[in-house]
Amino acid sequence: MTQTALAGAAAETAATVSAEAPATPDRPVRPRPAAKPHGQWKVDGKAPLNPVEVWKQEDDGLSVRHRIETIYSKQGFDSIADDDLHGRFRWWGLYTQRKQGIDGGKTAQLEPHELEDSYLMMRVRTDGGKLTTEQLRVVGQISIDFARNTADLTNRQNIQFHWIEVENVPEIWRRLEAVGLQTTEACGDVPRGMLGSPVAGIAKAEIIDPTDFLQELRDRFIGSPQFSNLPRKYKTSITGYPDHDTIHEINDISFVGVEHPELGPGYDLWVGGGLSTAPRLAQRVGVFVPPEEGPAVWEGVTSIFRDYGYRRMRNKARLKFLVEDWGAEKFRQVLEDEYLGHKLRDGVAPPKAKVNGDHVGVHEQKDGNFFIGAAPCVGRFSGTGMMALADLLEAHGSHRLRTTPLQKIIALDIPKDHVEAVITGLDAIGLSARPSVFRRNTMACTGVEFCKLAIVNTKDTAINIVSELEERLADLVDAGELDEPLTLYLNGCPNSCARIQTADIGLKGIIVPTADGGTTGGFQVHLGGGLSSHNREEAGLGRTVRGLKVAIPDLPAYVERVIRSYVSNKLAEETFAEFAHRVDEELLK
């Protein structure tokens, strides 16, 4: 890393080297201090350089399952050791949830143990979003029996329970694993739930079917000690669909289906994406990955992260920081020379998407049946809703469905003459296959309701905004002024689980001052972000409007105002993102 780069990252790395003072007889030149090690195993050795790395080496995160089954589930929450509760539990998809009734303004004032409840959040991984109706029933019944009917859809194709008691965890695992589901490595410093095209093997336009690729990764590497101690979390996406349906620019590693002019269908490799408080878009490595080499390339990239990733400081431990320092050319060289043992052919970039890749609506499958993409409101669902969905699909001859990276559900294998009946049934359980532009494109994280890091309520706020905008902007919708997607993402804290930097309108939860000298919950506004899509050539991050902080009660009016400003002042064919980056800030307030 250059001195310039180090200076710019001083707050995060604490590694800036001060310039030498001029030598004088009274003050000789002092040598520059040696740069601190990053904790890279292949460079600095495996001696742990922070407390998290200590307990990770003392006892692998996967080992805690035995203690949950034999000790903690029998002796209760108070028996759980701290390193297990706040560390290794994550390797099995478990976090403590926020204690009810604690205002978001206290999030930064209280210690973690003061914020947490004796209940757990549990994340069920569904790699590629694949579910059968049998599995859906099991998940739904777990929600009803153990999770107070919570079953939210995440934007990583997972299902998330709340109100889980440690005493019930072994029984939940038994039920999940009996139908091929698991919580293994759904959280933690591991390969987390893998995004896969939700229409893999289904869509007529598919370039290549990644189903077997994704399944091999899951079978070989999830729950394996080979990658159960990575520097930080590690996110994968794989798609063979041409219209960019797995947010490849913001994952640690992504494989994007392409057609090579000489070698046929395969994958373009991207590395180093991620958001949070230091967002980075992934870089193309520039190689073509033949289908048969996909697992080996994934293993090689993941091994680079394990061996060369920065472990000393947790806020620099994501792959994106290593990729930023190395660059794509060096990353490719290390991958080929040290991990694959051979060169890969130069790749081709994915083409621009032709249609919206969220899969909402009715679409014909390869086999002549149809799939129907439906939107809950901001991912909120329930166990009873899942049971009703399983009943609906089976009544119309379907036994398969998928979740998506945009908090949607896709019903598969619907005969043509059953489509309208299924759409009607979906509406009855809160899933819309023909949603408003606002319901279709609004996303929210868990928020202060359950998350210990959150500052504001996101789910209820987002649901209210959707309802308000459907009324406030009905005239623009009726006039055809809002035909294109306009994304609205709400996040309860700066960590960007809801990808606020990649939304047309991204809202980051903060505390804002009130006129009477007090404070209240609100949002910092980011405008004009987005990932590559049918109406955007390349991904780009949103623009922060200086001083624009909106209290929660004022949000619907603000969003209405900025959308009307766009409609009134846009150039011909200009998207909202283009408008937001072009105009003066006064038109965005």
Classified by CATH at the fold level, domain 440-587 comes out as Sulfite Reductase Hemoprotein; domain 1 (3.30.413)
pLDDT confidence of residue 28: 58
Residue 203 in tokens: 């869509």
Spans in the chain with pLDDT lower than 70: 1-34
Q: How far apart are CA 296 and CA 301, in angstroms?
A: 9
Identical fold between 361-435 and 440-587: no
Percentages (nearest 5) of helix, strand, coil residues in the chain: 40, 20, 40
DSSP state, residue 411: E
Residue 395 in tokens: 């009544």
Give the CB-side neighbour count of residue 335, counting CA atoms within 13 A.
Answer: 28
Specify the residue for token string 């905008």. Answer: 469
> Closest by alpha carbon to 136, among 370, 371, 426, 402?
402
Residue 434, SS3 per DSSP: coil
Q: How far apart are CA 236 and CA 488, in angstroms?
A: 24
User: What ranges do the domains of the chain cover?
Assistant: 51-124+159-179, 200-346, 361-435, 440-587
Specify the residue for token string 């979906």. Answer: 426
Residue 229, SS3 per DSSP: coil
C-alpha to C-alpha distances, 439 to 51, 143, 421, 463, 488, nearest whole angstrom: 43, 24, 21, 8, 9
Q: How far apart are CA 223 and CA 93, in angstroms?
A: 12
321-327 LR contacts (CB < 8 Å, sep 24+): 321/278, 321/280, 322/272, 323/271, 323/272, 323/280, 323/282, 323/283, 324/272, 324/280, 325/1, 325/5, 327/283
Task: Express each pLDDT in 494-536 by its tens digit.
Answer: 999 999 999 999 999 999 999 899 999 999 999 999 999 998 9
Determine whether domain 200-346 maps to CATH 3.40.50.300: no
DSSP state, residue 20: P
pLDDT confidence of residue 231: 98
pLDDT confidence of residue 15: 36
pLDDT confidence of residue 7: 36
> Closest by alpha carbon to 375, among 426, 431, 332, 327?
431
Write down the CATH superfamily of domain 361-435: Sulfite Reductase Hemoprotein;Domain 2 (3.90.480.10)
Residue 579, SS3 per DSSP: helix
396: how many CB neighbours lie within 10 A of its CB?
A: 16
Tell me the backbone φ, ψ of residue 346, rounded to 5 degrees.
-60, 145
Residue 428 in tokens: 């009855």
pLDDT confidence of residue 547: 84
